[in-house]
Amino acid sequence: MSAKEVKTGIHFINGDEACCEGALAAGCRFFAGYPITPATEVAESMSRRLPEIGGIYIQMEDEIASMAAILGASWGGVKSMTSTSGPGFSLMMENIGLGICTETPCVVCNVQRAGPSTGLPTLVAQGDMMQARWGSHGHYEIIALSPSSPQEMFDFTIRAFNLSEYYRLPVILLADETIGHMTERVVVPPEEEIEIVNRRKPAVSREEYLPYEADPDGIAPMANCGDGYRIHVTGLTHDERGYPAMDAKAQEKMVTRLVDKIRNNRDKIISTKNLFLDDAEVVVVSYGISARSSMQAVQDARREGIKAGLIKLDTVWPFPEDLIRAVAASSKTMIMAEINGGQMVLELERAACGACPVRLVSNYGGAILHPGLILSSIAKAAKGKL
Amino acid sequence: MITAKTAKNLPPHPMDSLLRTERIPHIWCPGCGIGTVFSAVIHSVKNSGWDPNNIAMVSGIGCTGRMAGYIRLDSFHTTHGRALPFATGLKLAKPDTKIIVVSGDGDLFAIGGNHFIHAARRNMDLTVICVNNLNYGMTGGQQGPSTPLGAKTTTTVNGSPEEPFNFCYLAAACGATYVARWTAMQVRSLRSSISEALDKRGFSFVEVITPCPSSFGRRNRMGTALEMLKFYHGRSVIRSDIDPRDASMDIDREIVVGKFVDIERPTFMDHYEKVNRLNSPQWRAMHPDQKAR
């Protein structure tokens, strides 16, 4: 039996398995992880699939080690990922910061469950949105994608790898328990139709190469370990040579570049799916499983004659503030639907900047949002009630 | 005193090809033992016969962690305690690369203790050099997992109330294939142990008892760096090939030094290939003697 790296065809699999297949299709050949509900199926799938195509699966002693190991593997030139849920995501924060600072491509899948702490291990939530954005110490920019179906688990995992390889940072796949455990049709396209991005390699000799000197678009070409460049990589603030530079000027320069390489390219990174925005008066903004509840609610509202619209955030970070600003200016009300006490709604309020009222439909986790709940919020907003 | 300015005018050193000379002078205090260990590592690397492009160094955080910034190899200065799992990922991605992990006692055995246990258990093919200076030097001399009972540090002004680890015994118990300990004064033995450790397939571990005159020595009235070196050396007793549990590490009584473990054991990759690739035609063709389990 010869195992396939890309399982072209139509499958009936759950979101976690789709994530695994997406990773392999993107070229991932190293997975380090630790079992945790509801992300365990990603690791289990990887443990079966990677050895048969010449990759490495290793179960580490904890999530701290898992995150460290995928950074090491990435510097070894192998596309790498880990998967986890809330408690493990908390443990990964320190080394996600190392990945940001050293500009290490890799993918972290967080299949969110309800917290705080051990919370509800088997039940859905979307409570790690701000942790994904700000969880590691210091100032930085992050890229996070939020799939709303097993198909998107497959598609977005590939995109997460492509973004991580291009922009050189850990990219977060912010899934949730419902999407991870939901089984649906997943179409895996032929290998040649899948777009793959690989990290930019240095075009100069060892003597001329400066590991952290960026090209005009803000991205520095990356030499892997063993390429002969004898690189130094450190989590300390560093200069273009990669050497520690312990002063405010070097800090300003390094962090500015880490932030700008994402901010200045945000139009290329940000992806949303917009529904009925042309004439929408009440616009729901949502992501992940909540975007599916919202989609139902918006369609129901339309049937009732309410001019409702939807912005589904495929990328939650960076936040599409330009789009929101424009839509807010022509909307009566905007609504954020999410399974937490109100996290992305803060971003929505910030971006809408008072141009229209912003409402929140949410719960603290444990159950998905009922479309009826969102519909009634839309209906109230349409009547001008707050 | 060598400053950045005067260093530029010095004649080339035989080890310059393995040093990031533009980063000299280093940050270590006068009399610190890390330089001795660093020098021994560089000698062993130079004499190993390995292509330096196929050797990498991974370190954690702390005084010893800074070694990675001075060696002209692919070098990774990671997070506190996480050098070993980072090195694990790097090794599995590049199995043909020789990887040296250098770090202090606090980094490897306090915050990174769990990683040490598991890397040794898996028999990851890594060489680990632990510079044991009995305290946290970088942060000014706090108590650590190796601080002797009763020793004074900035966080144990009345003396440490804890029993310290015996790292060599721990390494042996966890499955290390090579375990040795020397004091920083026993340079020849140290170099030869580091060379043996580099040649070893599997998880090899060398502990070096080094003076930290600025912090540990000063608070415990141990005199100058040279006096500390001589003190540790005077307490040392060479007893190779004894049971690692008897390789006591007690600066008040005796510091047992020598080579305590030198065994063969399949590495993680040996087992991984055996259990996972047995049915793979390519793999079987590559290893015809491994057809049967």
Please list every residue in chain B whose beta carbon sits closer than 8 Å to the beta carbon of residue A52.
Answer: 276, 280
Kindly state the DSSP code that residue A372 receives in the 8-state scheme. H
Q: Read off the pLDDT band of B286 (50, 70, 90).
A: very low
- pLDDT for the residue numbered B6: 72
Q: Name the residue ranges covered by the structural domains of chain B.
A: 24-262, 266-293
B86 touches chain A (CB under 8 A): yes
Domain boundary among A160, A177, A193: A193
B288 — pLDDT class (breaks 50, 70, 90): very low
Residue A24, class by beta-carbon neighbours within 10 Å (0-12 exposed, 13-18 middle, 19+ buried)? buried
Average pLDDT, chain B: 93
Co-location of A174 and A315 in the same domain: no
| Structural domain includes residue A242 | no
- Using DSSP's 3-state secondary structure scheme, residue A9 falls into strand
Tokens 């190392």 belong to: A98
B121: contact with A, CB 8 A cutoff = no
Kindly report the CATH number assigned to the domain that includes residue A317.
Answer: 3.40.50.920
Which of A51, A78, A244 has the CB atom closest to B69's CB atom?
A: A244
- Is residue A113 within 8 Å of A38, Cβ to Cβ? yes
Q: Could you tell me the two tokens for A370?
A: 């009922």
On whether residue A227 sits in a domain, the answer given is no
Answer yes or no: is A229 within a domain.
Answer: no
Element (H, E) at A134: helix A129-134
The answer as to whether A87 is a domain residue is: yes
Q: Return the half-sphere exposure (C-beta side, CA atoms, 13 A cut-off) of residue B35.
A: 11
A232 to B279: CB separation less than 8 angstroms, yes or no: no
What interface predicted TM-score (ipTM) does this complex get? 0.97
Asked if residue A225 is part of any domain, the answer here is: no
Count other Cβ atoms within 10 Å, centred on residue B285: 8
- Bridge partners, residue A244, by sequence: A238
With beta carbons less than 8 A apart as the criterion, state whether A316 and A342 touch: no
pLDDT tens, per residue, chain A with 386 residues: 357 899 999 999 999 999 999 999 999 999 999 999 999 999 999 999 999 899 999 999 999 999 999 999 999 999 999 999 999 999 999 999 999 999 999 999 999 999 999 999 999 999 999 999 999 999 999 999 999 999 999 999 999 999 999 999 999 999 999 999 999 999 999 999 999 999 999 999 999 999 999 999 999 999 999 999 999 999 999 999 999 999 999 999 999 999 999 999 999 999 999 999 999 999 999 999 999 999 999 999 999 999 999 999 999 999 999 999 999 999 999 999 999 999 999 999 999 999 999 999 999 999 999 999 999 999 999 998 65
- In a 3-state reduction of DSSP, which class is residue A321? helix
**Residue A26 falls inside a structural domain:** yes
First CA to last CA distance, chain B? 62
Contact A37, A18 (CB under 8 A): no
| Cross-chain CB nearest to B89 (options A71, A227, A228) | A71
Which of A165, A193, A221 corresponds to the end of one domain? A193
**Other beta carbons within 10 Å of A1:** 7
Work out how many domains chain A is built from and give that number.
2
**Side chain identity at residue B19, one-letter code:** L
Q: What is the CATH number of domain B24-262?
A: 3.40.50.970
Same domain assignment for residues A180 and A291: no
- Phi, psi for B183 (deg, rounded to 5): -95, 160
Domain contains A165: yes
Write down the H helix ranges in A135-206: 150-167, 177-181
Q: CB distance A233–B77 less than 8 Å?
A: yes
pLDDT over 50 at B287, yes or no: no
Same domain for A154 and A289, yes or no, is no
CA distance A108 to B72: 31
Domain boundary among A128, A160, A193: A193
Q: Based on the domain organization, do A183 and A286 belong to the same domain?
A: no
Q: Which amino acid is at B220?
A: N
Nearest CA among B151, B129, B121, B154 for reference residue B140: B154
Q: Is residue B191's pLDDT more than 80?
A: yes
* Domain interval for residue A23: 9-193
pTM of the model: 0.96
Structure tokens at A53: 């195509």
**Residues in A 89-118 with any Cβ partner in B closer than 8 A:** 94-95, 97-98
In a domain, A265, yes or no: no
Asked whether the beta carbons of residue A77 and residue B56 sit closer than 8 angstroms, the reply is no
| pLDDT for B89 beyond 50 | yes
The per-type count for chain B, helices as H runs and strands as E runs, is: 11, 8
Chain B environment of A68 (Cβ under 8 Å):
78-79, 82, 85-86, 88-89, 115
Q: Which residues of A touch B87 (CB under 8 A)?
A: 72
Chain B residue numbers with beta carbons less than 8 Å from the beta carbon of A207 are none
H/E segment holding residue A275: strand A272-275
Whether residue B92 and residue A58 make contact (CB cut-off 8 A), yes or no, is: yes
